[in-house]
Amino acid sequence: MALVGILFALAVIFVLHRLLRLHTLKDIPGPTPSNWFLGYVYDLSPKPIGTPFKEWTRTYGQTYKLRGPFGVSELVVGDPKGAAYVLNSPDFQRSYSDRVALEEFFGDGVFNAEVNQDCARQRAVLNTAFSPTNVREVAHVLFDLAERLAKEWEDELQQAGPAGILSEMTSKMQRVAIDAISQTTFSYTLSADPHIPAMIAKIADVPSNALTLIAESLVDTFPILYKVPSPMRDWTVMLRTELGKIADRIWQESGGSEGGMHSKLLDAMGKSKMITGEPMNRDTAIANMCAVIFAGYETTANILAECLYELAKKPSIQDALRTELSTLTSTENCSLTYDDLTDTAALPYLDAVTRETFRTKAVLLTITRAAVAPSTIPLAFPVKSTGATSVAVEPGQVVNVPVRDGIHADPAIWGEDVDEFKPERWLGEEEKLPEAVRMIKAPGHLLTFGDGPKTCLGRYFATAEFKIVLATVIQRFVIEDVEDVYDFYRQTSDTIKPRIRGREHEPPQLNLRVKWAEIA
């Protein structure tokens, strides 16, 4: 009972603190939550992705407010012009709760370095590891991993009949992705480790629910809550410890200079003094290893699995992609190369499928920022209730930019066919894209990798990995749908996982049928 009283008192203080320091956004429309205590979290957490944000945009427009836990207002900016401003302006940074959580779980790395000299130094170091030049140098590792996956399926198909085989795609893609990031960045095969993949899975698979999201809100005022012992915190500490052992061993074997032929991340961190003028200490290096694994492992694996699910439901798109890939290799009488896959003129349909996947299957549901100074957000679409073309916010105001179910799924931005998986929208001249799409200033007019100073460092690597694996799979195999219907849910770690409809209590899974591809 004493604990309940303490928590209630903290909640009251939290509410008063937030309500006193923030404007209520009284002129901004928004839905009334079903539960005042939980706010919009109550309406969002139990549902598959793809529902509430779309409904709210349709009803209230691109810019609206949500009542969070305890009635505190959060501003939603699903406006392309407004989102570009929020994500590029120094007036908006990661929320305090996000920074505390990232530091507590992953250490003092680039994840929680803000837009200052420290952030610039760390990003400069990591940028060298994921530069287009370095991605090209390690591309053969990605091809080898894609070949390993193809060989596994080929061996299974040799023993199977015409019906092909069933394959669970999330685990297959996770193994490819974790080895892609670990082999190329610190010359280690993480999938062969008996402990690390299991720890990562435990951290990434914590379901999102009302209680976890309320805790995320409370920590904005009471960061001490993140220091309370919990299984998730214990797993992240163990993960940092294990990764530290790996890094120490590799650095010792290499004499402290370069980690090995493909150790791009460790090489860059070892040369930090040469790049920025200051060495990177061991703890920061380990924190950055954790950051790179979480940013590049689950995200790429999940988007690959979702893409294959989409193509399984749309065999005509799969066939068109296979034809383009096969035509190129038969004409040149050679295998696909990294240059082929990154040349949009050589493989325009592959690029279109990639961009459409990044639009419709973006791993980011929302990007959250908090105002650190008074600011006025410009809008392309006026506020629905007032016609205002800007919104003024005060320091402390939380702003959510909805990505997957917001800006990427708004018919006012993309057209009435927005819900259709349609690679053809990306073919042709960029000027033919709708004007509102071109207002999205992020690379490729997509927010899949964020925008502004915190744009994903590994976007070139992730795109190359996606194209290499997808091209290898589609050129050799036909991927078919099965009877199960899948919905996709947000996890507490902000990953997105598939679950079979009607069997949501089961672990995440995505089963598809694999057959030989017949190439004319």
User: Is residue 88 one of the residues assigned to a domain?
Assistant: no
User: Is residue 56 one of the residues assigned to a domain?
Assistant: no
CATH code of the domain containing 304: 1.10.630.10
For residue 456, say whether it is annotated as part of any ligand binding site: yes
pLDDT of residue 457: 86
Which residues, including other chains, have CB under 8 Å from residue 71's CB and lie 6 or more apart? 15, 19, 36, 39
User: Is residue 383 one of the residues assigned to a domain?
Assistant: no
pLDDT of residue 51: 73
Q: What is the dihedral of CA 95, 97, 98, 103, to 10 degrees?
A: 130
pLDDT of residue 256: 47
How many separate domains does the chain show? 1
Walk across the sheet containing 477-480 and list its strands.
Answer: 165-168, 511-516, 477-480
Whole-angstrom distance, CA of residue 434 vs CA of residue 411? 11
pLDDT of residue 109: 66
Whole-angstrom distance, CA of residue 263 vs CA of residue 251? 10
Local structure of residue 110 (DSSP, 8 states): G
User: Is residue 179 one of the residues assigned to a domain?
Assistant: yes
User: Is residue 375 one of the residues assigned to a domain?
Assistant: no
The pTM of this model reads 0.89
The residue behind tokens 């790429």 is 300
pLDDT of residue 141: 94
pLDDT of residue 411: 97
Q: What would the pLDDT profile of 155-207 be if each residue is shown by its tens digit?
A: 999 999 888 999 999 999 999 999 999 888 877 888 887 777 777 776 666 55
User: Is residue 354 one of the residues assigned to a domain?
Assistant: no
Helix (H), strand (E), coil (C) string for 71-100:
HCEEEEECCHHHHHHHHHCCCEECCHHHHH
3-state secondary structure of 480: strand
User: Is residue 236 one of the residues assigned to a domain?
Assistant: yes
User: Is residue 475 one of the residues assigned to a domain?
Assistant: no
CA distances from 491 to 239, 306, 346 (A): 19, 16, 38
Ranges of residues in the chain whose predicted pLDDT is under 70: 1-24, 45-46, 105-120, 202-233, 235, 247, 250-264, 266, 269-277, 279, 332-333, 491-494, 519-520
Burial label, 9 (beta-carbon count in 10 A; 0-12, 13-18, 19+) = exposed
Local structure of residue 486 (DSSP, 8 states): E
Which residues are paired to 190 by β-bridges?
none
Q: Which two tokens stand for residue 496?
A: 């997105």
The residue behind tokens 């082999």 is 183
Q: What would the pLDDT profile of 493-510 be if each residue is shown by its tens digit?
A: 567 778 888 887 788 889
Element spanning 186, H or E: helix 169-186
Domain hosting residue 232, numbered range: 98-316+483-520
Cα 2 to chain center, whole Å?
A: 40
